[in-house]
């Protein structure tokens, strides 16, 4: 299934031409603050869009406006090993121009439905930095259950002496039996 439709959005597989829309948001430091990578250059985005269109095709979904087809963010959805646990992880990054309208919620709901109804997932999980309130609020809007609070287990920055600045993290989850979509 290459394309999913929601009320306002198309959630589809990446094409190599998506690099420009990807650059619009992956080049912004605040957007990648809690991601395991730094800001992307234009060239990085050209390579990344190609990779998401081919090698990483299964894992990334581009989220676009239904009318203009502008890509406004993406959802990451990948199966964790071993396969027999039937567990997927979900992640998301959106263009800040479009925050505050429920687009991320709408796109992630569609991917949860894909996970439970099409992929037959037993469990879908998400990890989030405790400081990243917009992200854990999104997980709560999706009715995911907070099941762990890890103390100072991750860092996204280092001090000038090169020491990690530790952060707490939460894990959220939803079981197929909890899904009511």
Ligand X SMILES: CC(C)(COP(=O)(O)OP(=O)(O)OC[C@H]1O[C@@H](n2cnc3c(N)ncnc32)[C@H](O)[C@@H]1OP(=O)(O)O)[C@@H](O)C(=O)NCCC(=O)NCCS
Give the binding site for ligand X (CB under 6 A): 31, 34, 91-94, 99-105, 128, 132, 134-135, 137-138
Instruction: Please state the φ and ψ torsions of residue 118, each to the nearest 5 degrees.
Output: -95, -45
Of 34 and 114, nearer to ligand X (C-beta) is: 34
Sign of CA dihedral 141, 33, 41, 49: negative
Instruction: For the CB of residue 50, give the shortest distance to ligand X in the complex, in Å.
Output: 22
Q: Which is nearer to ligand X, 134 or 181 (CB)?
A: 134
Q: State which residue has the least CB distance to ligand X.
A: 102
Cβ closer to ligand X: 44 or 102? 102
Side-by-side strand order, sheet with 164-175: 3-5, 9-13, 60-65, 71-79, 87-94, 123-129, 164-175, 145-158
- Provide the minimum distance between the beta carbon of 148 and ligand X in the complex, in angstroms, as a whole number: 14
What are residue 74's phi and psi, to 5 degrees?
A: -145, 160
């Amino acid at each position: 299934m290459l394309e999913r439709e929601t009320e306002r959005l198309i959630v589809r597989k990446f094409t190599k031409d998506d690099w420009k829309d990807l650059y619009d948001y992956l080049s912004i430091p605040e957007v990648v603050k809690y991601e395991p990578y730094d800001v992307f250059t234009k060239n990085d985005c050209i390579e990344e869009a190609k990779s998401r269109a081919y090698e990483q095709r299964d894992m990334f979904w581009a989220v676009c406006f239904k009318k203009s087809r502008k890509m406004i963010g993406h959802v990451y959805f990948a199966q964790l090993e071993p396969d027999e646990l039937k567990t997927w992880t979900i992640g998301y990054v959106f263009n800040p121009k479009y925050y505050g309208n429920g687009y991320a919620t709408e796109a992630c709901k569609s991917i949860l439905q894909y996970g439970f109804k099409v992929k037959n997932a037993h469990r879908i999980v998400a990890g989030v930095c405790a400081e990243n309130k917009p992200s854990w609020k999104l997980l709560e809007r999706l009715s995911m259950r907070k099941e762990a609070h890890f103390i100072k287990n991750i860092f996204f920055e280092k001090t000038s002496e090169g020491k990690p600045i530790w952060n707490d993290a939460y894990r959220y989850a939803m079981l197929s039996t909890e899904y009511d979509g």
